[in-house]
Amino acid sequence: MHIRVINPNTTQAMTATIESAAKSVAAASTRITATQPSSGPVSIESHFDEAVSALGVVEEVLAGEREATDAYIIACFGDPGLYAARELTRAPVIGIAEAAFHIASLISTRFSVVTTLPRTAIIAEHLLDNYGFSHTCRRVRAADIPVLELEDNPDRALELIIEECLRAKREDNIGAIVLGCGGMADLTPQISEAVGLPIVEGVTAAIKLAEAVVGLGLGTSKFGDLAFPLPKPFTGRFADYSNLKPT
């Protein structure tokens, strides 16, 4: 099985972190390819960042379709470009936020999310509404750190995340915590030990879900709104997408 893990931002160190986490839980027979767009934001911390990065996600899926790819992971907690990516392939495409919410709901009746910035906490709340998990999530909390602090100042970032997780444990009446950033992919063991609750991290959750879906012989439905996009002309810098015919 070949899983293409797409980091939608352009920070190579974060792609390497995500790749390491994915490989740590993948089955021995699963091959992981971690990629990132050649252009786009160095971190994703706003609706604008997500909109720009979505095109990079689409391009990485199209690249994967030229190879033998069994599943795709979108390794940003905003799940940018998720539905567009699903339109382009029969393979499963799993966003790490959606995956983490599902797994957390299977092991606890209430969970909280700990993410990076307050503004991205609001974006996570929108996702909880869209995915139907608002009734299960008690609170979305922000450690108030920029995403790149996870790479540039990892010790301080970890300290702040653990502090927020401990507040969630004391105050939210929960059974589990979801880590709300792909850049936190390598922090699960330290946070779990410090907090004493099940910690769900989206990259690793998505890998195991992708393996399960592929193992069941299932893929993205091509009936309804996730059917392949209708071929049509595109203009200007998007002309290469004209008459796109995914297979």
- Segment 79-90, tens digit of pLDDT: 999 999 999 999
Q: Has this prediction a pTM greater than 0.75?
A: yes
In 3D space, the residue among 5, 14, 9 whose CA is nearest the CA of residue 150 turns out to be 14
Give tens-digit pLDDT for 154-177: 999 999 999 999 999 999 999 999
What pLDDT, on a 0 to 100 scale, did the predictor assign at position 126? 97
Residue 247 has pLDDT above 80, yes or no: no
Give tens-digit pLDDT for 88-97: 999 999 999 9
107-115 mean pLDDT: 98
Q: Say what percent of the chain tops pLDDT 90.
A: 97
What is the DSSP annotation of the chain?
Answer: -EEEEE-SS--HHHHHHHHHHHHHHS-TT-EEEEE--SSS-SS--SHHHHHHHHHHHHHHHHHHHTS---EEEE-STT-TTHHHHHHT-SS-EEEHHHHHHHHHHHH-S-EEEEESSHHHHHHHHHHHHHHT-TTTEEEEEE----TTHHHHSHHHHHHHHHHHHHHHHHHS--SEEEE--GGGTT-HHHHHHHH-S-EEEHHHHHHHHHHHHHHTT-----SGGGSPPPP----GGGGGGTT----
All structural domains of the chain, each given as residue ranges with its CATH number in brackets, are 2-95+205-241 (3.40.50.12500), 97-202 (3.40.50.12500)
Give tens-digit pLDDT for 33-60: 999 999 999 999 999 999 999 999 999 9
Mean pLDDT over the full length of the chain: 97
